[in-house]
């Protein structure tokens, strides 16, 4: 039996220990905000935070999350009350088709929370493991910078 | 076919001794650390029915220890941890730079130095840096521990010289006797992040009096089945002054130590030309 904390809640996972974390989240815990893109660690769509650090949940067996904290996009905000980052994406057009967005949000969230800089170069480096095939990245970077600056006012 | 977790067994040793013992009992088990490469195969169903030796709970292998004559990197130390360590940043900057080019944050947070070596990809980005720092890989197995020089750990594409039952416990980086005058790490891939290298270089040089080179350590990855030190170039340069003639002669010696191929990522010709350019620019002091 695997015990983990998901979005602040203690959870038990009773399935096979080598189940991928993304499958445990989506299918066992019904947290379908995390999306699967490539399934091989290239695109970053499935990014969640493991003990605060961004990881590709398609490359993590759930047994390695035992005793650890997982945060998914559901931990950020709800439609009625968006997080600053989500509001930034909405304001700047940071999302188009939306598949990459949960991963973008989680990677950006980890970057800003760990004290990462909100300048163009730092945000681009932080998000370099998250691919987007719609927006061309400009508006995503703007969204993150806007959210970070908004937060300091 | 997708991976089937139900068909697999996970073994979870808590200590080094337990890991070695468990591996001896189930020699068919696949040692597993950060999983950044292995899981790609899992997703394709390649690990169905197998046993996995999950090493991630072996706490003693997660530490970076500064000892008298160098730094001991536990095999489970991640690429992110290496980049954040102040002494590694100061004394082994080429390894730090290499770790920053592996995948992106998500991969660097999971991929481990021991896993990188055990995986033995010809394109392993940390290997040229480990080669010029003359790292020693420490293996632990049923017959105890032994040190394997980085130049002897790789046997070929995806093959190491680890013996049956052996696991990588640590990587030891000796402090150089003298601080190198210059050093550079350079990776060439299709794009800056998330790319596998077409060629990857690490170089250190030591200048003596009167501009004579007292030593050089140079290495390329992705240019042969395993990482290669440029012994012929190093030997030629030792005791010479760097100038147009010596640098161009040195660059001509490059094919003595590498044998690049045409593959999905690049061609032999491109790899040779770009590598020669990198080597030349480094020796001329043009790379920052």
- pLDDT for residue B262: 86
**A58: domain range?**
2-75
For B110, the token pair is 């999971």
* pLDDT per position as a tens digit, A115-143: 999 999 999 999 999 999 998 899 999 99
Helices marked H in chain A: 21-23, 84-92, 101-113, 120-126, 138-152
The 8-class DSSP code of residue A28 comes to: I
The pLDDT, as a whole number, for residue A153 is 40
Q: Give the span between the Cα atoms of B220 and B203, in whole angstroms.
A: 9
Same domain flag for A89 and A127: yes
Q: Which of residues 99-138 of A touch B (CB under 8 A)?
A: 107, 110-111, 125-126, 128-131
Choosing from A75, A93, A113, the residue where a domain stops is A75
Query: 């992040």: which residue's tokens?
Result: B193
Closest alpha carbon within chain B to A58: B39
Residue A151 has pLDDT above 60, yes or no: no
- Contacting residues of A for B12, CB less than 8 Å apart: 63
Q: Are residues A66 and A99 in the same domain?
A: no
Confirm or reject contact between A87 and chain B (CB < 8 A). Answer: no
Chain B residue numbers touching A124 (CB-CB < 8 A): none
Q: Are A56 and A41 in contact (CB under 8 A)?
A: yes
Beta bridge partners of B88: none
In this prediction, residue B113 carries a pLDDT of 98
pLDDT at B190: 84
Domain of A18, CATH number, reads 3.10.20.30
Spatial contact of B49 and A18, defined as CB atoms under 8 Å apart: no
CATH 3.40.50 fits B5-54, yes or no: no
Q: What CATH class has B60-174?
A: alpha beta
> Looking at residue B8, what is its pLDDT?
96
Per-domain residue ranges of chain B: 5-54, 60-174, 182-284
Judged by a CB distance cut-off of 8 A, whether residue B83 touches chain A is: no
A6/A62 same-domain check: yes
Q: Is the minimum CB–CB distance between A17 and chain B shorter than 8 Å?
A: yes
Whether residue A64 is found in the same domain as residue A103: no
Per-residue pLDDT of chain B (288 residues; tens, 9 = 90+): 689 999 999 999 999 999 999 999 999 999 999 999 999 999 889 999 999 999 999 999 999 999 999 999 999 999 999 999 999 999 999 999 999 999 999 999 999 999 999 999 999 999 999 999 999 999 999 999 999 999 999 999 999 999 999 999 999 999 999 999 999 999 998 887 788 899 999 999 999 888 899 999 999 999 999 999 999 999 999 999 999 999 999 999 999 999 998 888 899 999 999 999 999 999 999 988
- The 3-state DSSP class for residue B32 equals strand
> How far is C-alpha A52 from the geometric centre of its chain's CA atoms?
10
Number of H helices and E strands in chain B, helices first, is: 12, 14
Residues A71 and A26 in one domain: yes
**Secondary element (H or E) of residue A22:** helix A21-23
pLDDT above 50 for A152: no
Confirm if B107 and A129 have CB atoms less than 8 A apart: yes
Fold of B182-284: Enolase-like; domain 1 (3.30.390)
Both A7 and A71 in one domain: the answer is yes
Which of A75, A108, A127 is the C-terminal boundary of a domain?
A: A75
* Cα–Cα distance, B52 to A27 (Å, whole number): 23
Residues A71, A54: one domain? yes
Residue range A63-86, pLDDT digits in tens:
999 999 999 999 999 999 999 999
Q: Which of B12, B42, B105 sits opposite A54 (nearest CB)?
A: B105
Q: What is the pLDDT of residues A33-67, one digit of tens each?
A: 999 999 999 999 999 999 999 999 999 999 999 99
d(CA B270, CA B77): 34
Size of interface A-B (CB pairs under 8 A): 90
């Amino acid at each position: 039996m695997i015990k983990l904390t998901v979005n602040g809640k203690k959870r038990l996972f009773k399935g096979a220990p080598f189940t991928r974390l993304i499958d445990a989240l989506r299918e066992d815990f019904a947290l379908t905000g995390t999306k699967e893109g490539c399934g091989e660690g290239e695109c970053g769509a499935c990014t969640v935070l493991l003990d605060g650090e961004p990881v590709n949940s398609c490359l993590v067996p759930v047994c390695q999350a035992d005793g650890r904290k997982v945060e998914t996009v559901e931990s950020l905000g709800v439609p009625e009350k968006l997080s600053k980052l989500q509001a930034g994406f909405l304001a700047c057009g940071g999302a188009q088709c939306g598949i990459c967005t949960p991963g973008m949000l989680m990677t950006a969230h980890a970057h800003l929370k760990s004290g990462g800089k909100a300048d163009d170069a730092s945000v681009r480096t932080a998000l370099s493991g998250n691919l987007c095939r719609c927006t061309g990245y400009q508006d995503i970077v703007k969204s993150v910078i806007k959210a970070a600056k908004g937060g300091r006012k | 076919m997708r991976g089937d977790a139900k068909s697999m067994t996970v073994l979870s040793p808590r200590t080094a001794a337990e890991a070695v013992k468990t591996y001896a009992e189930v020699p068919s088990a696949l040692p597993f650390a950060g999983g950044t490469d292995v899981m790609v195969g899992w997703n394709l169903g390649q690990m169905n029915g197998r046993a996995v030796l999950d090493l991630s709970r072996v706490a003693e292998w997660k530490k970076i220890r500064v000892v008298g004559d160098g730094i001991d990197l536990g095999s489970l130390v991640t690429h992110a941890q290496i980049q954040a360590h102040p002494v590694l940043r100061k004394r082994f900057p080429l390894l730090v730079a290499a770790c920053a080019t592996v995948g992106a944050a998500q991969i660097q947070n999971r991929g481990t130095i021991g896993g990188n070596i055990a995986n033995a990809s010809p394109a392993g980005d940390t290997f040229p840096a480990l080669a010029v720092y003359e790292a020693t890989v420490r293996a632990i197995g049923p017959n105890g521990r032994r040190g394997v020089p980085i130049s002897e750990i790789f046997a070929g594409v995806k093959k190491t010289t680890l013996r049956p039952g052996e696991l990588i416990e640590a990587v030891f980086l000796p402090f150089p006797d003298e601080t190198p005058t210059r050093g550079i790490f350079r990776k060439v891939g299709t794009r800056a992040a998330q790319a596998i290298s077409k060629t990857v270089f690490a170089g250190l040089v030591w200048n003596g009096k009167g501009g004579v080179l007292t030593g050089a350590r140079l290495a390329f990855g992705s240019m042969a089945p395993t990482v290669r030190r440029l012994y012929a170039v190093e030997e030629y340069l030792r005791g010479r002054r760097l100038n147009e003639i010596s640098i161009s002669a040195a660059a001509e010696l490059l094919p003595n130590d590498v044998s690049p191929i045409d593959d999905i990522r690049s061609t032999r010709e491109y790899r040779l030309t770009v590598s020669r350019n990198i080597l030349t620019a480094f020796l001329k002091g043009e790379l920052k």
